[in-house]
A and B are shown apart, each in its own frame.
Chain A
């Protein structure tokens, strides 16, 4: 029975894991090999080093600057998603619990509409003569001819819109699991609301916050349409660089290098965010 069960297990796992091995693991290995082959424009300056593409990337000032953008813009967007998403998840899970699930479903609707349309909408909203720009001008905040497009703020805003539902969903799950009896007991024993937040709500929602950070930060580092359309030439991210190398200069070794740099940076950045979230858990409850 056991042995048969094991073979059945292999059979059950085969389709999904076969696909993951062939289309993800092997290609990632191939990407690593590709990144170690000389780039197209190696030329006479070639150093003949194994990690030459990486050296070139990190020696190049503009590349480093774009890499920094690719981490800081998504990081700010992720923090904003936590700042807006946590209270919203709390409101849905604990205050409006009867309508919570339905509201959650409605909140996900904009995300189901293609995010390209959301980007397109922001292009219209923020342009000169667009409603947001007109409103801010009416309030005397911006000159009549200043576009709000082509700024870090525009790119960040679009990312927050795109990914907020993921963050809310993830935090909602962890908040909903906290039994009301625990909260009621704390309140009846005279704990202040701040203390309930610091010692029960926040610490127990940190796993949800960390999962949310993974769902927001990592894909956001790979965005290229947002900086291309809303950032214009003024705000660049690595996604645009990779896309240009694939579709314009056909420099596959360089594209592979930048892709791996981006992936490692994304995972490292996420690890930092997760550690920070974990640290607040202890700091707050002390």
Chain B
């Protein structure tokens, strides 16, 4: 009796989960379906075509933009992993006074508590004020500062609770601080660093609001390109492009989950270690 009730409940939860997942993928499924539809306006009825894919491949500009944006996001993710991990180590292991660490943590969260739109506008206004304005360098730096908290917070959380036993052992055996960090601490932090920089990569790749205000005129990132296409009306080759993006991101997410366990890095630290 009790077992049957439990099984029924599990079934209900499964049904609920399935419904939400299906609903979440409706817009994406729609884009993919419409990329094979003859109607350029994304309306029914549905007739098969691959015309929009041929059209997409006739536009080398879009491929170039995608590559630029990918390159930018990789550079930012790597820089973010380095700077964020350094900052987290500095907060957790340099023996700074507690109130200072609390203050540093609060400052670190400012880029998350100000809406991205406001951050983009604020950086642009300031850069105009000091005579720098929009540039590729500013685009990179602006994107980087926005994603820094992702790495810093995850790594700092991992470092905060415990001082790893091996670190103590290393110190007692006379290893230098740098050696302890490189040989003992960093390998333990790797899952958190990876999870944080993956977030940083994805957010940089999609951060339209920062890119829109900091990219120099004539330099388009992929989100800016998509925004332009969406505003200019319905463009069926966006559907074809989005199919590629969907397949690539689902593959990337699953691959990374296989490699480092994204979910576990966000969930409990104990399982991730």
Contact = CB atoms under 8 A, between A and B. Distances in A.
Is B one of A's binding partners? Answer: yes
Interface of A: 2, 4-6, 8-13, 15-17, 19-20, 23-28, 30-31, 34, 84, 87-88, 90-93, 95-96, 100-125, 127, 129-131, 134, 161, 164, 169, 172-173, 176-177, 214-215, 218-219, 221-225, 229, 239, 242-243, 246, 252, 255-256, 259, 262-263, 266-267, 270
Contact of B27 (A8, A88, A161, A221): A161
Contacts of B254: 102, 105-106
Interface string B97-122: 00000001001101111111111011
15 contacts: A5-B94, A10-B94, A12-B87, A16-B152, A20-B111, A26-B126, A34-B125, A88-B17, A101-B257, A104-B263, A110-B27, A229-B230, A242-B121, A263-B118, A266-B115
B230 A116 contact: yes
Given A87-B16, A130-B42, A239-B117, A109 B249 contact: yes
B200 interface: no
Contacts of B264: 101
Contacts of B57: none
Given A24-B114, A95-B13, 18 more contacts: A12-B89, A13-B86, A19-B83, A27-B125, A90-B13, A101-B257, A109-B253, A110-B25, A112-B205, A114-B205, A121-B31, A173-B267, A173-B268, A177-B268, A214-B112, A243-B117, A259-B117, A270-B113
**Interface residues of B toward A: which range?**
35 or more
A65 B68 CA distance: 40
A161 B245 CA distance: 17
B256 to A, nearest CB: 8
A173 B44 CA distance: 41
Given A25-B110, A124-B34, A222-B116, A101 B261 contact: yes
A6 B95 contact: yes
State the main secondary structure of chain B at its contact with A: helix
A90 B10 CA distance: 12
A130 B34 CA distance: 11
B193 interface: no
A91 B31 contact: no
Contacts of A92: 17
Contacts of A110: 24-25, 27-28
B30 A116 contact: no
Given A15-B87, A110-B25, A169-B266, A259 B122 contact: yes
A111 B208 CA distance: 13
Interface of B: 10, 13-14, 16-17, 20-21, 24-28, 30-31, 34, 41-44, 82-84, 86-87, 89-91, 93-96, 104, 107-108, 110-119, 121-129, 141-142, 144-145, 148, 152, 177, 202, 205-206, 208-209, 213, 222-223, 226-227, 230-231, 234, 238, 242, 245-246, 249-250, 252-254, 256-257, 261-264, 266-268
A91 B16 contact: yes
Nearest to A31: B122
Contacts of B253: 105-106, 108-109, 112
A113 B21 contact: no
Contacts of B242: 113-114, 117, 120-121
